[in-house]
């Protein structure tokens, strides 16, 4: 299986001033596989330690924080020499041993520059960024899914922004996108589907993943919030099924308030199981987001395949033309776009709604310089009244409307096919 993250790890390895690298991501997104696969491809040796499975090993890090002393102890434990130039140390589930996290500071300061890869299944855990490098891992993107399905040619066209050639293969893109809505990007589900294209087997895998998450609620969640965590998690598909996808606590139960569920929502976010997209506000009519309205936000799951499983999407819907793009009131399409945007490094994502609620832009991406509004349409529907309102008010240099229609551009407005959303960087050039 190919992951773009492998290229990032290679650049990290080649940096002579590398810091310990912590790969953050929800459980089951492939952190362990990625670290082991990279170590294998790098051609060196790997020392793998899982702190969740071996909590007693924490004493090696608690006795002192001298990097060389820890290395000597690990060498005794492993029965082999650890060469800083050849050995990759893999510390998995490092958040389980706080002393191991603290020791990364001393490894960073050590002149030998040991190659240390760490996995953390609690993305919300804070780390001292001055002592480590952080990298967030998400489920496979649509392009990575295409590569797993042996359609590297289709992925390459998205990567290079070859929109005319994409149109020639539109039928294949649409079919693959339907599959992606069903399968999603969880590595185990993708690996199974790429091997035998068995939809029933994919569902069984997704149900096991969801059951494992539910178990984590009870085992790892704060005791006083477990029931609220479970209730909030299970209502997300219904919330996304609403025409107004703003998260409403009142839909949890009658009289529910934000303070009743804040802890549960934060826990799910910190575990990487949900993503919040907040409402960006500009009071002065500027195209710059001045602050976040903390009371208004949308909640998406980490993976479209898991959403389709929780929503009981039938596989026969995949055969009904473009019905899957309309199913569940655009919930899957919104989830899909949110999921792809989440993988863009250095991009913050918001949504916008007019003061009286008459117009709404599904996503605003902000890279620190420019804001790009993105309106999502599940069908070939180019009637974008909200986009018109936004463009007249803020006059952005570039606006994107994404549907299953073909790519075109003019006057700063770009129609971008849903299957090419990862090519947003190319389509905005010379718009």
Which residues is 277 bridged to in the sheet?
298
Name the band, by pLDDT with cuts 50, 70 and 90, for residue 379.
low
pLDDT tens profile 129-147: 689 999 999 999 999 999 9
Tell me the pTM. 0.93
> How do 45-50 and 274-281 pair as beta strands?
unpaired
Host H or E run for residue 372: strand 371-376
Would you give the distance in Å from CA 184 to the centre of its chain?
Answer: 12
Asked whether residue 154 carries a pLDDT value surpassing 60, the answer given is: yes
Return the DSSP state at 81: -
Torsional class of 179: left (φ above 0), alpha (ψ -120 to 50), beta (otherwise): alpha
Q: What is the pLDDT of residue 291?
A: 62
Residue 427 CA to residue 323 CA, distance in Å, equals 27
Q: What is the pLDDT of residue 39?
A: 95
Q: For residues 75 and 369, which has the higher predicted lDDT (pLDDT)?
A: 75
Report how many helices (DSSP H) and strands (DSSP E) the chain contains, helices first: 18, 13
Q: What is the pLDDT of residue 311?
A: 92
- Quick one: what percent of the chain has pLDDT higher than 90? 59
Name the band, by pLDDT with cuts 50, 70 and 90, for residue 128.
low
Tell me the two tokens of residue 361. 């832009």
> How do 348-353 and 360-366 pair as beta strands?
antiparallel
Query: What residues contact 205, with CB distance under 8 A and at least 6 apart?
Result: 186, 188, 189, 192
Query: What residues contact 253, with CB distance under 8 A and at least 6 apart?
Result: 231
Q: Where are the domains of the chain?
A: 5-136, 142-427
Q: What is the pLDDT of residue 82?
A: 94
Q: 373-406: string of b/e by CB count within 10 Å (b at 16+)?
A: bbbbbbeeeeebebbebbbeebebebbbbbbbbe
Asked whether residue 164 carries a pLDDT value surpassing 90, the answer given is: yes
Nearest to 229 by CA among 274, 185, 184: 274
Asked whether residue 414 carries a pLDDT value surpassing 70, the answer given is: yes
Outline where 258-330 has alpha helix (H).
258-270, 304-310, 323-326
Name the band, by pLDDT with cuts 50, 70 and 90, for residue 312.
very high
Q: Is the CB of residue 366 less than 8 Å from the CB of residue 354?
A: no
Asked whether residue 348 carries a pLDDT value surpassing 70, the answer given is: yes
* Average pLDDT of span 31-48: 93
3-state secondary structure of 227: helix
Q: For residues 331 and 319, which has the higher predicted lDDT (pLDDT)?
A: 331
Name the band, by pLDDT with cuts 50, 70 and 90, for residue 204.
very high
Name the band, by pLDDT with cuts 50, 70 and 90, for residue 50.
very high
Asked whether residue 259 carries a pLDDT value surpassing 90, the answer given is: no
> Which CATH homologous superfamily contains domain 5-136?
P-loop containing nucleotide triphosphate hydrolases (3.40.50.300)
Asked whether residue 152 carries a pLDDT value surpassing 80, the answer given is: yes
The mean pLDDT of the chain is 89
Which residues is 117 bridged to in the sheet?
21, 90
């Amino acid at each position: 299986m190919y992951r773009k993250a492998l290229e990032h790890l290679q650049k990290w390895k080649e940096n002579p001033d590398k810091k310990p690298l912590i790969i953050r991501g929800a459980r089951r997104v492939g952190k362990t596989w990625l670290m082991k696969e990279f170590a294998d491809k790098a051609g060196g040796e790997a020392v793998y330690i899982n702190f969740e499975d071996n909590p007693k090993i924490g004493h090696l890090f608690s006795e002192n924080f001298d990097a060389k002393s820890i290395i000597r102890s690990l060498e005794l434990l492993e029965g082999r020499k650890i060469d800083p130039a050849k050995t990759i140390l893999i510390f998995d589930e490092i958040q389980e041993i706080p002393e191991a996290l603290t020791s990364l500071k001393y490894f960073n300061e050590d002149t030998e520059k040991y190659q240390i890869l760490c996995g953390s299944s609690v993305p919300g855990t804070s780390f001292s960024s001055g002592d480590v490098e952080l990298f967030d891992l998400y489920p496979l993107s649509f392009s990575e899914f295409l590569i797993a399905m042996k359609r590297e040619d289709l992925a390459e066209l998205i990567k290079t922004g070859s929109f005319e050639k994409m149109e020639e293969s539109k039928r294949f893109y649409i079919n693959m996108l339907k599959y992606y809505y069903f399968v999603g990007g969880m590595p185990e589900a993708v690996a199974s589907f790429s091997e035998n294209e068995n939809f029933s087997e994919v569902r069984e895998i997704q149900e096991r993943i969801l059951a494992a998450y539910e178990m984590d609620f009870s085992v790892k969640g704060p005791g006083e919030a477990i029931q609220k965590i479970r209730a909030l998690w299970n209502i997300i598909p219904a919330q996304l099924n609403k025409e107004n996808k703003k998260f409403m606590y009142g839909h949890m139960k009658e009289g529910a308030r934000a303070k009743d569920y804040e802890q549960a929502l934060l826990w799910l976010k910190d575990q990487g199981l949900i993503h919040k997209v907040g409402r960006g506000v500009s009071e002065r009519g500027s195209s710059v987001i001045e602050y976040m309205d903390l009371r208004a936000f949308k909640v998406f799951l980490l993976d479209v395949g898991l959403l389709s499983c929780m929503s009981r999407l039938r596989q026969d819907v995949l055969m009904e033309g473009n019905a899957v793009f309309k199913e569940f009131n655009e919930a899957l399409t919104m989830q899909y776009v949110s999921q792809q945007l989440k993988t863009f490094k250095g991009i913050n994502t918001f949504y916008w709604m007019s003061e009286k609620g008459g117009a709404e832009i599904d996503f605003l991406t902000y890279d620190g310089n420019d804001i790009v509004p993105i309106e999502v349409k599940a069908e070939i529907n180019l009637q974008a009244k909200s986009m018109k309102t936004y463009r007249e008010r803020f006059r952005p240099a570039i606006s994107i409307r994404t549907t299953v229609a073909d790519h075109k551009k003019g006057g700063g407005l770009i129609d971008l096919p849903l299957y090419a959303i990862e090519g947003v960087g190319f389509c905005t050039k010379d718009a």
